[in-house]
Amino acid sequence: MVSHILGESGSSRIYERLRQKDGLSYGAGTFFQPAALDDNSAIGLYAIFAPENLARVRTGFAEEFDRALKDGFTDTEVSFAKEALLQQRKLSRSDDGRLAGALVNQAFLGRTFALSGTVDAAIAKLTTADVNAALRKYLKPGEFAYAFAGTFDKK
């Protein structure tokens, strides 16, 4: 939920800030990779931008993370994200390729689609307080590792 609100949709905070408001990025967002075998899930972020905008892009990410941590997410953001995430999960189970991949993955992990139902139910029950508590517990921008690729000035 945190990643979805921060950057996994066209109405996310990161996209709105870097693309729409500041006009710094051709595309920007976040992605979440839940761990299947251990307790170390990952959140990633990205932005496609002109090299001269690097400092402003970094500032935009930092300010949006700070704002989220300070103010939390709103009831509207959480409600919209829950609906969107549940719909996305439902649609992914209707795509043959993704369904086949999920079945292989589940067989490897010794799981069934019952777990998907459990996850969907847990998402549906989330409150704004739950999401904000997870945000503050797990989002640690100071611990992020950053990598940049492109033609940057060697100043």
The per-residue pLDDT for 16 is 96
Query: Is residue 155 assigned to a domain?
Result: no
| H runs (alpha helix) in the chain | 2-7, 13-15, 54-71, 75-92, 96-109, 113-125, 128-138
Q: Which two tokens stand for residue 26?
A: 């051709």
Query: Is residue 151 assigned to a domain?
Result: no
Give me the domain span that covers residue 77: 2-143
Name the residue among 145, 7, 144 with its Cα closest to residue 73: 7
> What digits encode the pLDDT tens for the residues 46-85?
999 999 999 999 999 999 999 999 999 999 999 999 999 9
The residue ranges of the chain whose pLDDT is under 70 are 154-155
CATH number at residue 79: 3.30.830.10
Q: What is the pTM of this model?
A: 0.87
The per-residue pLDDT for 117 is 94
Query: Is residue 93 assigned to a domain?
Result: yes
Phi, psi of 44 (to 5 degrees): -125, 160
The per-residue pLDDT for 54 is 93
If one counts the domains in the chain, the total is 1
Give the dihedral of Cα atoms 134, 137, 138, 141; nearest 10 deg. 120
